[in-house]
Structure 1
Amino acid sequence: MSKSESDSKQVAAIEDDDEPDDWDKRIFSTGCAAENTKMNDCYYDKKDWRLCKNELEVFRKCWKQHQNDQRTGMKDV
Structure 2
Amino acid sequence: MSKSESTAQQKSAATLDDDEPDDWDKRIFSTGCADENMKLTDCHFEKKDWRACTKEMEVFRACWKKHNNDERTSSKDA
The TM-score bracket by the shorter chain reads: 0.7 to 0.9
Q: Which amino acid aligns with 1:71?
A: R
1:19 is aligned to 20
SS at match of 1:57: helix
1:57 aligns with 2:58: yes
Distance 1:68 1:14 in 2: 30
**C-alpha separation between the residues in 2 aligned to 1:70 and 1:24?**
20
Give the corresponding residue for 2:48.
Answer: 47
| Residue in 2 that maps onto 1:30 | 31
- Any unmatched runs of 5+ in structure 1? none
RMSD: 1.9
TM-score when normalising by structure 1: 0.85
Query: Counterparts of 2:22 and 2:15 in 1: how far apart (Å)?
Result: 13
**1:49/1:17 CA distance change after superposition, 3 Å:** same
Q: Give, in angstroms, the shift of residue 15 of structure 1.
A: 3.1
The code of the aligned residue for 2:51 comes to: R
* AA of the residue aligned to 1:53: T
Aligned residues: 75
SS in 2 for 1:50: helix
Identical aligned pairs, as a percentage?
66
**Distance in structure 1 (CA, Å) of the matches to 2:41 and 2:16:** 23
CA distance in 2, matches of 1:49, 1:37: 14
TM-score normalised per structure 2: 0.84
Cα–Cα, structure 1 residues 67 and 8, in superposed 2: closer, same or farther, change >3 Å?
same
